[in-house]
Structure 1
Amino acid sequence: MLTNFYTLNSISTEGNQTKALITINKDHEVFLGHFPGNPVTPGVCMMHIIKELTEQVVGKKLFMQSSNNIKFLALINPEKTPDLTLDISIVETEEGYKVRSETRFLEILALKLSSLYIVK
């Protein structure tokens, strides 16, 4: 769990589509080393947020089994653009949960992720 790394402002699910609005905590200690004076949200933290939100939606603890598509398309600077929109598609399969997500700030696509999560 990323304690105090972000605030979940809202989450809504319709069918297999989830939309979450979050705000990154620009004062979190991770930004002291990533990077002082020019903070950048670590990609692994963004991937973890997607996992946490997926867990909330499905009501189960999950483990990332595989990921076949991860594209970091824009840097997320929490001092300039802390508010993010995550669009997450969650489909249950025999193997687990197939997740496709897109993360945006303003209208800029910052991250695309396709993963398979299995129940822990």
Structure 2
Amino acid sequence: MTLVSENIFEVKDLQQQGGQITATLRLVEDNPILNGHFPGQSVVPGACMLDLVKTVIGDALSINIQLKTAGNIKFMQMVTPADADELNLKITHKPIEAGFISLNATILKAETACFKLQAVFAIL
């Protein structure tokens, strides 16, 4: 069991094949970050979704990485405690030059995209 993003997400299943990584996620509903963002209508902060992608790809590939550029970040639907057991992460990645990795990532609830990211990370 891997916990990421200040223990907001639990990775229940992680699969890696070639340039594809998929993960089944569970949202930890009682995390204090959710209580403060926003009181009365808890949502997962966007920074935590970005950190989730960084942590999962780093763990899956056994590398330390740092965000270099984010060409496109889209928050398409809120992720709330009601979505606790319906989340999936899909990442497509490839090396682009020595010391850098390019990726596209999507967080989905059921089949609906909530978050999309196109980014380049530096391998540390």
Q: Does 1:73 align with 2:76?
A: yes
Q: Is it true that 1:17 corresponds to 2:20 in the alignment? A: yes
Aligned alpha-carbon RMSD (Å)? 1.2
Q: For structure 1, which runs of at least 5 residues remain unmatched after alignment?
A: none
Q: Deviations over 1:89-115 (max 9, x none)?
A: 111121511010111001211011001
Alignment deviations for residues 41-73 of structure 1 (CA, whole Å, 9 cap, x no partner): 101100000000010122111000000011110
| CA–CA distance in structure 2, aligned partners of residues 108 and 66 of structure 1 | 25
Report percent identity of matched pairs: 24
Shift of 1:39: 0.5
The normalised TM-score by structure 1 is: 0.93
Runs of 4+ residues deviating >6 angstroms: none
> Once the 2 structures are TM-superposed, how far is the Cα of residue 26 of structure 1 from its aligned partner?
1.1
Compute the TM-score of the two structures, normalised by the length of structure 2.
0.90
Find the counterpart in structure 2 of residue 113 from structure 1.
117
Residue 14 of structure 1 and its aligned partner are, at CA, apart by 1.3
C-alpha separation in 2, matches of 1:8 and 1:36: 26
Question: What is the 5 A alignment of 1:74-93?
Answer: 74-78=77-81, 80-83=82-85, 84-93=87-96
Name the structure 2 match of 1:96: 100
- Corresponding residue pairs, total: 119
What runs of 5+ residues in structure 2 fail to find an aligned partner? none
1:30 is the counterpart of 2:30: no
